[in-house]
Structure 1
Amino acid sequence: MKVVVYPGDRWGCGSFRMIWPGEQCAAAGHDVHVVEKDRRSVRLVMERDTVRDVLVDDVDVVVLQRVTHAYMAQAVSVLRAMGVTVVVDVDDDLSSIHPSNPAWQVHRPGRGLHSWHNLAAACRDATLVTVSTPALLDVYARHGRGVVLPNYLPDHYYGVSRTDSDVVGWPGSFHSHPNDPEAVGGAVARLVDEGAQFVMRGDSSGAGKAFGLAADPVGGGVPIEEWPAAVASLGIGIAPLADTRFNSAKSWLKPLEMSACGVPWVASPRAEYRRLHAMGAGVLADRPRAWHRELKRLRESPALRQEMSEAGRAVAEQLRLQDHAWKWAEAWQQAYEIQQATPRSRVAV
């Protein structure tokens, strides 16, 4: 069974969901080929705005990510009618993105060829949909052809050196989390007034006002290869998520990254964060007073920071990608078997 994996990008989502799992499966002996976006050989044969044919190399399973383009969404059913298995992977509920998130403008229907409606159609027609959280199954795989593949971490997240401190930090970019600082209320501003240092690892433009600070915190993006070291540079991490439909389907990736890097963390009680906390990592805070209390405890206790750092690393050790990559291979095999059992006459084109 030949599998070709087409990541949607070469950054975070593309790496965690497609590139790194695909490479792990290939290393384990599976016939898996990861083809980055600028090297794709897929060609669409168009008749005006309709996809009539798809020219693709000899392949059994095509794995696509975040199919939001109208023509690629059409290509899903065309490929299936040709007998090709199509797996669509989704990591976020794009239909509920916050309007202040730049991705909302890109994916809102009616603006152009990309939309979350196209993604819904692609998932409807796909042989199998893979998602990062159970909540996403209800959004994109109500037809029952869905598998949850949680986010796991590659080896370079483990064993990263870290120097303890009481610096509080958020490993995230404000533009992609425009309403999440509201989860902490005035807790961060109160800590800063008490003498705490607050920083970000990611774009901090606009975050100062959102957290109630006099200025944007120190921040800035880093290459994906340097991200684990950037996360590890934090003394205490935060993972705030507002109580929204979009966030109810978010994965545990951010606190998991902090756990693997030995950073003690405080997070909002969203579903997947609760799941990771139940395994023994981090602490949850459901209101500003709790955020302030838990962060203050960590700032004032090096012993508590060390205890939580060790506990987080122990939990993250169970969630190495190399130990779970077989789940991707198993899902692709399941998709192939579904496709083989589906008469081509039943695939809508």
Structure 2
Amino acid sequence: MRLGVLYTTDVYNSIYRALIPAEAMRRKGHDVRVVKHDDASRVPMEQFSDREVVHVFRRHDKAIAKFIDGLRNRGIGVTYDNDDDLRLAPEESEFFKRHRATGIKRHFAEQVSIMRRAHLITTTTDTLAERWAQEVDRPIEVVPNFVDDQHFVRTARNSEGVVVGWVAGKEHVADARRLEIAQVLQRVMSKRPEVRVVTIGVRLDLDASRYTHHEHIPLHRLGEYTRKFDVGIAPLADIPMSYARSDVKVKEYSAAGVPWLASNRGPYAGLPAKFGGLVVEDDAWEAALLEITSSKWKRLQLRRCAERWARSQRIDKHVSRWEAVWQEAAAMAERAAAA
């Protein structure tokens, strides 16, 4: 298959929804061309004119609309991945504050316009697939996020105390505030002098003497930092966005060999301990953290489970799901051309 992939570095999720699947397809023997396009300028059609199918990740400007129209006119299959419903942005997020209701509606309308142009839509969860089905009359395929070699780091672990870590985008400030995660962690640190906290992305109001915040860590080093966690957390508050999220955060922790605690909600609801972690009710975060930080044996047991589960979530074990999607889009374009 001759596959083209257009992605943007503006959105971190392009790693999972474009780059990782593309590289897995290349390893499987397909002819893959990946092109980065971060602005609203014309997309270079000449780089895709020999492709059977082109995958576009989440861009929704006029240049992308024109590009997709051009692909279809040439009989090239188009898939569009949308893993985020902009309407669900929490009020605490920077995106909501920047665009408010009117801007969000406009951005979403642009996304819908793009989705209606594609032959096939891909997304991460059944929740999002149901939402897209209300907006577009197109086939929608759910393909979860999977991890790749870059997540399986084997660098040094933490050797001092117990580190509770959280890797989360800044929009997770909504979860932190509603679940009072900073207050919970402060109480845990007061009861467990050996506990320290590290966050990457989201910032918490914690005692600086035992708290480290990293604004941003380059992707190629993220696993190295995550591996120094003794336990990773993934809190999700009871807000609409939580039910549309993917489970990739706990997969990232597991690939780094880090046991995790996650809210018993949305993508994490009911996840078993054999996946390397424990699900937590909203009022049980302090108790869960106190228990896991006090038991090295429990963390070791969960770590072994996490590493085993993560190996089953490698992209190469699941790339056939993406392959089937792109084969179907190419076939749809071929049938349309024949008609």
Output the TM-score relative to the length of structure 1.
Answer: 0.84
* Deviating more after overlay: 65-74 vs 126-135: 65-74
Matches within 5 A, 1:76-115: 76-104=68-96, 111=103, 115=107
Gapped regions of structure 1 (runs ≥ 5): 45-53
The answer to whether the 8 Å contact 2:87/2:105 transfers is no
Q: What RMSD over aligned residues (CA atoms) do the two structures have, in Å?
A: 3.0
Assess if the C-alpha contact under 8 Å between 1:191 and 1:296 holds in 2: yes
- Alignment-mate amino acid for residue 49 of structure 2: D
The structure 1 residue matched to 2:192, chosen from 176, 187, 195, is 195
Question: Which residues of structure 2 form unaligned runs of 5+?
Answer: none
Match of 1:340 among 325, 331, 334: 334
Identify the match of residue 291 of structure 1 among 280, 285, 293: 285
Counting matched residue pairs gives: 329
Aligned-pair identity in percent equals: 27
Q: CA deviation at 1:278?
A: 6.7
Superposed, which structure 2 residues align to 1:1-349 within 5 Å?
1-9=1-9, 12-37=12-37, 42-43=43-44, 57-73=49-65, 75-104=67-96, 111=103, 115-142=107-134, 143=137, 145-158=139-152, 160-161=154-155, 162-163=157-158, 165-173=161-169, 175-181=170-176, 182-185=178-181, 186-196=183-193, 197-205=195-203, 207-208=204-205, 213-214=206-207, 217-220=211-214, 221-274=216-269, 276-277=271-272, 280-288=275-283, 290-342=284-336
Counterpart-to-counterpart distance in 1, 2:83 and 2:202: 23
Contact 2:270 2:279 in 1 (8 A): no
Of stretches 297-306 and 270-279 in structure 1, the one that deviates more from structure 2 is 270-279
Distance in 1 separating the partners of 2:332 and 2:240: 31
- The 1-side partners of 2:117 and 2:42 are apart by 22
Q: 1:344 to 1:178 in 2, by over 3 A?
A: farther
Residues 43 and 67, structure 2, Cα contact 8 Å, conserved in 1: no
Query: Relative to structure 1, is the Cα distance of residues 200 and 74 closer, same or farther in structure 2, using a 3 angstrom cutoff?
Result: farther
Q: Is the 8 A contact 1:265 1:282 kept in 2?
A: yes
Distance 1:231 1:327, change over 3 A: same
C-alpha change, 1:94 and 1:34, in structure 2 (3 Å) is same
The structure-2 alpha-carbon separation of the partners of 1:316 and 1:4, relative to structure 1 and needing over 3 Å to count, comes to same
> How far is the alpha carbon of 1:280 from its aligned partner?
3.1
Provide the rounded CA distance (Å) in 1 between the counterparts of 2:120 and 2:314: 24
- Shift in Å, 1:237: 1.2
Change (3 A) 1:315 1:272: same
Instruction: Answer whether contact 2:54 2:78 (CA < 8 A) is retained.
Output: yes
Amino acid at match of 1:6: L
8 A contact 1:8–1:37 mirrored in 2: yes
Does structure 1 conserve the Cα–Cα contact (< 8 Å) formed by 2:78 and 2:119?
Answer: yes
Q: Say which is worse superposed, 113-122 or 2-11, in terms of deviation.
A: 113-122
Q: Which amino acid aligns with 1:31?
A: D
Alpha carbons 1:183, 1:268 under 8 Å: kept? no
- SS of residue in 2 equivalent to 1:35: strand
- Shift of residue 38 of structure 1? 6.1
Q: CA 1:326/1:268 → structure 2, altered by over 3 Å: closer, same or farther?
A: same
- Contact 1:232-1:263 at 8 Å conserved across structures: yes
Change (3 A) 1:68 1:10: closer
* SS at structure 2 position matched to 1:284: strand
C-alpha offsets along residues 60-98 of structure 1, whole Å, 9 cap, x if unaligned? 211111122244235434532442211111222222112
8 A Cα contact 1:252 1:276, kept in partner: no
AA aligned to 2:117 is: D
> Offset at 1:124?
2.6
* 1:190 positional shift: 1.5
Structure 2 Cα separation of the partners of residues 96 and 18 of structure 1: 23
Contact 1:67 1:73 survives alignment (8 Å): no
Is contact 1:94-1:107 (8 Å) kept?
A: no
Normalising by structure 2, we get a TM-score of: 0.86
What is the DSSP-based 3-state SS (H/G/I as helix, E as strand, rest coil) of the residue aligned with 1:167? strand
* Secondary structure in structure 1 of the residue aligned to 2:197: strand
What is the alpha-carbon distance in structure 1 between the residues aligned to residue 273 and residue 298 of structure 2? 18
